[in-house]
Amino acid sequence: MENLLHWIDQRAKFKKDQRAIKTVYKYQPTSSQPNSKGMNSGNTFKQLSLKETIAQQTKTNDEVKQRLDTNESSLKDIQNKMDFLLTAFDEQNTLNKR
């Protein structure tokens, strides 16, 4: 059950990261500018300023780093448990040979 809750939490964080990335690269419409025929096309877009993009990217990078650190500690815990299990198997194998 704990693994399922952990997986759900990680999935929710992944979705949140995806939304943050889409927000950074999302174009926002501005006032229409005339096209080559002198008519308003209505398809012009404004990118985020460089300062805003860098700020959002920094925030996203920090969140990803935090999650990677969490995943690293989880993997270390799993590795320790696997080492313990391997040691137990080796000890049992030694006892069985006697």
| pLDDT-wise least confident of 5-9, 75-79, 85-89 | 5-9
In sequence order, what are the residues at sequence separation of 6 or more whose Cβ sits closer than 8 angstroms to the Cβ of residue 20? 56, 59, 60, 63
With residue 45 as reference, give the H or E element that holds it. strand 45-46
Query: Measured between alpha carbons, how far is 8 from 68 in angstroms, rounded to an integer?
Result: 16
Phi, psi of 35 (to 5 degrees): -90, -170
Convert the pLDDT of each residue in 8-31 to its tens digit.
Answer: 788 888 778 777 777 767 655 555
This prediction has a pTM of 0.42
Query: Which amino acid type is present at position 51?
Result: K
What residues are paired with 45 via a beta bridge?
Answer: 29
Could you read off the pLDDT of 41-75 as tens digits, one per residue?
Answer: 555 566 778 888 888 899 999 999 999 999 998 99
- In DSSP terms, 46 is beta-bridged to 28
